[in-house]
Structure 1
Amino acid sequence: MTETAGDGTRAVRAGLPEPVAHEPSLPGPVFAAHYHLPGEPAGPYTYGRDENPTWTRLEQAIGELESPEAPAETVVFPSGMGAVSAVLFSQLRSGDAVVLPSDGYQALPLVREALEGYGVEVRTAPTAGDAQRTLVDGARLLWIESPANPGLDVCDIRRLCRAARAAGALVAVDNTLATPLGQRPLDLGADFSVASGTKALTGHGDVLLGYVSCRDPRSAAAVRKWRKTAGAVTGPMEAWLAHRSLATLQLRVDRQAANALALARALRERPEVTGLRHPGLPEDPAHTVAAGQMRGGRFGCVVSFTLPDRAHAERFLGALLLVDEATSFGGVRSSAERRGRWGGDAVPEGFIRLSVGVEDPDDLLADVERALDRARGRAAT
């Protein structure tokens, strides 16, 4: 594929094999625990825990999207946390230090507990203001999440990568919310781009998936070795579904980004809404930095905001018709939740994380406005 190919073309063609007469353009999933293996155990496929042709095609596809201008290797996992764990536990040893975001994904405290149990020093700082930069001296690895979930703060990835490089630290970026069409961490200086493919990458809410992309073959080999050791392997059907879903990635991401920005603009007119965040809003604290590193005006599908209290938020969620009350984000169907119900995020009781789907924007905005009116009306009575 040429370097000038557009994002949509790349997404549609990524990872496809050369055409073969009378064969499908995307071959079906290969179900195999073992392969015919005469003689010495050499060849691309030897055992089902190590490699699978369906994984290979998906890994090639994601690599083409994460790093179209330089060779990169991708390793897929059965979940985003599988990918996160593979990077952290393949790179860190007892006595090392790692810098994590204090406002990142709510499973990171579980990771911190495990790392500290293995003798790894864990340092934390918020995403905003590049605060993690002050903690990289002496660290082995800097873990960035930008935009952060669920608060949507953004850090300057280039700046943090320069600081980490000067300190001799590796950098991993959780690119889940942005997707490779919205942000390319490897181009910004990161060593690892990590994501939960469960979210916008696959986009249909029916696949658990994770992946790690990197340009250093030794780093990729260490991650792949961890996958084999832990047995954290992806099912061929899930890998095939994920690859199939990539064809619509650009269409979905662009529609979701446009819908999210439209919703954010509407929400800023609501008096009961406070703490509104979306990197695409010019007045958002993260906008300037996000505009400098997120691609094509794709600022993500998530809008976060706070309603007056828990009861008000629950009335709002209960009144929605087109928005599912569910966790996760990035799906074609809009979803929302009161994030505080999980207890793992430092957010107000009325904090809402709304993942915007691909519905007609007028219908979606009308549904949210109606639900807000109903929730406020009940409060008034």
Structure 2
Amino acid sequence: MNDADADTDATRVVRAGLPGEEPYAPPLPGPVFAAHYHLPGDVADAPYAYGRDANPTWTGLESAIGELESPGDPDVETVAFASGMGAISAVLFSQLRPGDAAVLPSDGYNLLASLRQRLEDFGIEVRTAPTAGEAQRELLAGARLLWIETPSNPGLDVCDIRALADAAHERGALVAVDNTLATPLGQRPLALGADLSVASGTKALTGHGDVLLGYVACRDADLAASVRAWRKTVGAIPGPMEAWLAHRSLATLDVRTRRQADNALAVAEALRARPEATDVRHPGLPDDPAHAAAARQMSRYGCVVSFTLPGREYAERFLDALRLVGDATSFGGVRSTAERRGRWGGDAVPDGFVRLSVGLEDAGDLVADLRCALDAAAR
């Protein structure tokens, strides 16, 4: 689709990646289930040769995500994966070699700690610093790759992507940004100078809690080829049904994320009024420590609110008392969920730290449910 046909995200997102109209054909073709394809002659220019290399259903989804990550940019290439971790691993292991150095956030997604150990086992130096305050900048000398996660999960700190990308490029480092929480409608890392925008499509991108998916988007063809080659080698490919479900879900991404961001802000403001909920964080709160940086680079502030209750037992009583909010991990779904994040280990958070993913329910109903659960937890 020509970007001139879609000047706003609201229009673009419902048409992204769709084929041209054909009489009596569905607007979004069904999933293609194929391990192999009819393959006459030379394979060099074959668009589809084998099921681990490419699939027409992936192609539609990858095209759609590219249109959202970098509107109007014909050079952007997207590579879809079976999960967010598949996408993250592909970037790190395709770009780093023994003797290289990588700079990672110390407060990012907790499985980054496992990846750090793997990288170090392969002879790669890993340096870490917190997301807030562009602290990673001080570790860039001699680094091959900078990994940014903003907003960070679960602490919701934000860093200046453009400032860090400029600093990294001056030192010859690649820049990858985990854009999971923001989604491409809330933040566009490629436009802010990143080389790679990476995300778990399991979260808000697909939004229904029924798909595991990941992707990497970039403009450089050689970078995209190396990431795609890693996917082929390790077989971290998405299923055609998952890819089709993801593409189907994109049409509502704008309305979902707008409603969720509004609801999350209302919830955060309500929690601020409760003395038992401390360190309430949401980038949309005007006095949040991350707000100024978020306002410069984000167009919406996401669905996640974090806060701390007085201890593990208190938080568990609160979660048990909720009626509209499910006790579950992940975030970005249409139904609100929350969890005591410390139960997983790996996150440097207090025992009573709660990560709340705000869904599409009525904001007043959610606030009432949270207040009732807080009252019950205090008894």
Task: Identify the TM-score tier after normalising by the shorter chain.
Answer: over 0.9
For residues 57-92 of structure 1, the C-alpha deviation after alignment (integer angstroms, 9 at most, x for no partner) is 000000000000323000000000000000000100
- Number of the residue aligned with 2:56: 53
Runs of 5+ unmatched residues, structure 2: none
2:132 to 107, 125, 128: 128
Q: Partners of 2:280 and 2:268 in 1: how far apart?
A: 7
Which sits farther off after the overlay, 328-337 or 367-376?
A: 367-376
Which sits farther off after the overlay, 251-260 or 68-77?
A: 68-77
1:284 counterpart = 2:288: yes
- Number of the residue aligned with 2:265: 261
Q: Partners of 2:377 and 2:270 in 1: how far apart?
A: 16
Q: Partners of 2:97 and 2:304 in 1: how far apart?
A: 35
For residues 17-37 of structure 1, the C-alpha deviation after alignment (integer angstroms, 9 at most, x for no partner) is 000100000000000000001
DSSP-derived class of the 2:229 partner: helix
2:96 to 92, 97, 112: 92
Deviation at 1:43, TM superposition (A): 1.4
- Number of the residue aligned with 2:231: 227
Q: Partners of 1:2 and 1:61 in 2: how far apart?
A: 12
DSSP-derived class of the 2:356 partner: strand
Runs of 5+ unmatched residues, structure 1: none
DSSP-derived class of the 1:318 partner: helix
Q: Partners of 1:130 and 1:99 in 2: how far apart?
A: 12
Q: Partners of 1:258 and 1:267 in 2: how far apart?
A: 14
Equivalent residue runs for 1:38-117 within 5 Å: 38-41=40-43, 42-71=45-74, 72-117=76-121
1:36 counterpart = 2:26: no
Deviation at 1:39, TM superposition (A): 1.8
Q: Partners of 1:64 and 1:120 in 2: how far apart?
A: 34
Amino acid of the structure 2 residue aligned with 1:259: N
Amino acid of the structure 1 residue aligned with 2:191: D
- Number of the residue aligned with 1:163: 167
Equivalent residue runs for 1:1-381 within 5 Å: 1-3=2-4, 5-41=7-43, 42-71=45-74, 72-295=76-299, 298-376=300-378, 378=379
DSSP-derived class of the 2:184 partner: helix
Q: Partners of 2:332 and 2:194 in 1: how far apart?
A: 23
Aligned residues: 375
DSSP-derived class of the 1:180 partner: coil
Q: Partners of 2:272 and 2:41 in 1: how far apart?
A: 68
DSSP-derived class of the 2:375 partner: helix
Amino acid of the structure 2 residue aligned with 1:55: W
For residues 172-197 of structure 1, the C-alpha deviation after alignment (integer angstroms, 9 at most, x for no partner) is 00000000000000000000000000
Amino acid of the structure 1 residue aligned with 2:9: D
Q: Partners of 2:330 and 2:14 in 1: how far apart?
A: 25
Q: Partners of 1:359 and 1:58 in 2: how far apart?
A: 28
Deviation at 1:362, TM superposition (A): 1.0
CA RMSD of superposed structures (Å): 0.7
Amino acid of the structure 1 residue aligned with 2:93: F
Deviation at 1:169, TM superposition (A): 0.3
Deviation at 1:2, TM superposition (A): 3.1
- After superposing on structure 2, the runs of 4+ consecutive aligned residues of structure 1 that deviate more than 4 Å are none
Amino acid of the structure 1 residue aligned with 2:30: G
TM-score for both structures, normalised by structure 2? 0.98
Q: Aligned residues: percent identity?
A: 73
TM-score for both structures, normalised by structure 1? 0.98
DSSP-derived class of the 2:72 partner: coil
Deviation at 1:373, TM superposition (A): 1.0
User: Contact 2:314 / 2:377 at 8 angstroms: preserved in 1?
Assistant: yes
Amino acid of the structure 2 residue aligned with 1:299: Y
Deviation at 1:8, TM superposition (A): 1.1
Q: Partners of 1:185 and 1:39 in 2: how far apart?
A: 41
DSSP-derived class of the 1:181 partner: coil
Q: Partners of 2:85 and 2:197 in 1: how far apart?
A: 13
For residues 230-269 of structure 1, the C-alpha deviation after alignment (integer angstroms, 9 at most, x for no partner) is 1111100000000000000001000000000000011100
